[in-house]
Structure 1
Amino acid sequence: MTSAFAAALTRVEGSVLDLTGRLVRCPSITSDTAAVESALTELSSYLADSGIEVDVSRSAAGAPMLRARVSGPGEGVNILLQGHVDVVPVDEGWQRDPFGADVDGGYLYGRGTCDMKAGLAGFAGVLRALQSCGGPRRGSVTLLVDADEETGSDSGLIPYIAKHGLSEYDWAICGEPTGLQPFLGNRGLLWVSVTVRGCAAHAGIPGAGLNPVPVAAELVTDLGAKGERAEQTPTESNPLTITTFHAGTVPNSIADTAVFTIDRRLQPGDSADAIIDDLRAAVARAAQRHPSFEFGLDVVKRWPPCLLDENSDLAQAAYHAADSITGHASFGFDEACNDASFLSEAGVPTIIWGPGDPALAHTSDERVLLDDITRAMHGYGRAVETLLSVT
């Protein structure tokens, strides 16, 4: 890393820690429009104060997307830094103000510290340091921030990509928490809803109706057994999980409809279409056994898995940068889903890499080491500089 850029990163350390706290104090739960806007305003102000041009656009659904870029005069590698400003709702287990941004024992506590406001602040620090050095000689670094990742990015990043594309970018870093170790990919998922329709009746006269509950329960049992078997296979295939079951409104009436949902996690290489076909076949077999009932299956959400080649320039740049800031480096894999999937699906090779223990995300003890925030920023800076030098 050039001494000028390294010095610039060191100069912004304090402001990056302050920005992280300010972001955490914005209770930007996905559904809280005002709080999300407040967090984006904090981030925009931090970048604009350094003369970085910031643009906030909106999707047709009204979801905001923040884009900021620092570019050089010559053509070169274009790097995308991507994250989200929204957080999940607060659970009841918090022993401190979840949006207080308390500092205790070298940790910053609060909802969103790990997932993923510390990573966002580190990205912002890189742009600010790069801007203070006059920008790169060639190429560019862009920060792209969405506001509904925690609910699937359906209103923000996905329509943004559909409208604008990401073909201009060569590499992307998604700043989700990884304990500062580069993750090469993440799982995907399918959410499926299955409906069984019968005929409502008084519970005291069950023969007057068709009760969909035991029929749906039979199908749930069949699919659940299949999921348990998959979990025990040595291929580490991801089992399906039955997550919800809804039927009826009162105990003395037979419902006309029973609905249950399925969560099926995907590994890189899994065929979502083949899995959906298997589920449709299972539902069709149930329909043959129970011809008096109607069955339906709807795919609610597809979230593709992704995987980066560990020998790529991006993976190697992140690996060596992680080694420089932690003293050791190893590639990992994210068991959850995140926006890296959509970046990768759009054709941008993406690595997942950020401060914070991923096991603490979404918990009532969410926290991140202050030192890890600045370490992440220096790691990002080192990787970015390495990639910008690639011709």
Structure 2
Amino acid sequence: MLARDDQDSLKRTPLHGLHVSLGGKMVPFAGYDMPVQYPAGVLKEHLHTRASAGLFDVSHMGQIALRPKSGKVEDAARALERLVPQDILAIAPGRQRYAQFTNEDGGILDDLMVANFGDHLFLVVNAACKDADEAHLRANLSEDCIVDSLADRALIALQGPKAEAALAKLCAATPAMKFMDSGPHEVAGLACFVSRSGYTGEDGFEISVPAADAERLAKTLLENPDVLPIGLGARDSLRLEAGLCLYGHDIDTATTPVEAALEWSVQKSRRSGGARAGGFPGAEKILAHFDRGASRRRVGLRAEGRAPVREGARLFADEAGGEPIGQVTSGGFGPSLSAPVAMGYVPTPLAALGTKLFAEVRGQHLPLTVAAMPFVKNTYKR
């Protein structure tokens, strides 16, 4: 529990007052006072999002505009490719792509979303990393780009199978959008940036809105009986069921994209033999992992019993123990499955689906099986 002075030092999002009025249980997260749950509780919030529509406050995330000094968005894309292993030039106007900032050893400094808004790039980065990310961009790209921190904007996510119908009442463009479409749109008469994406595995949207208008927009969405407010607890269980990485847990500065099973995010043009292969931090190690494989790999894990296997649990190849061969990086109970699920790192020879492993939980070695991810089928509108 934080001391009162520490709690008072936490930042607040533009929706803080709304969270309190809705009965949100507030906890420290990434330097912010955030709702971990509302009176309905994590389980009901999770299942409601899977069945209907959930509204999440993600305003703690960083929003950054990368504006090319030349006026050509292609120049901003080329500049950003110096810091990420993704093909940014190939992102068409109105589309976005998942990316990672890498370091010189091939590790991941942060993961982010990059959208092409036609005349500039729009980036969404993680809350705990946003100051470092902005400094990283300024230090490396200022010659080519203006790095504009959009601190005057809030960010809310509307997720679930009824998200489209709920948002369509306020934004006429909504039904025509496909997964990873992104761009400026008017929502309830407000100038917003809308992407069809999210962090739950469900169809849904992320809406960047001027901070001064955020509460009004959130309240308007919550007037719809299909939409309920959802806290960080359910956000975490939803993303875990979807097999999505949490920065600082499943990926970090010592993890390459290949080790993290994120090869799909690095386009062929940036890999060995590609037209623009390399040229990003850590390229030598990352490309070597593509060519020869990595010694370890992130995998999904299903427990045989009901006991959740939490982050930090050591993994063993043998029930008797011996030397640990890996560690769980995310784990908990999957409400949609009514069963525990986890992710962790194991030696690549033990990463095959169906491999039997054991996790150390309260002094016992519980059986696990390497399983396919996502644990719950995603419902993105493609």
Greater relative contact order: 1 or 2 (C-alpha under 8 angstroms, separation 6 or more)?
1
Which one has the bigger strand percentage? 2
- Whichever of the two has the greater Rg, that structure is 1
TM over 0.5: no
TM-score (norm 1): 0.26
Which one has the bigger helix percentage? 1
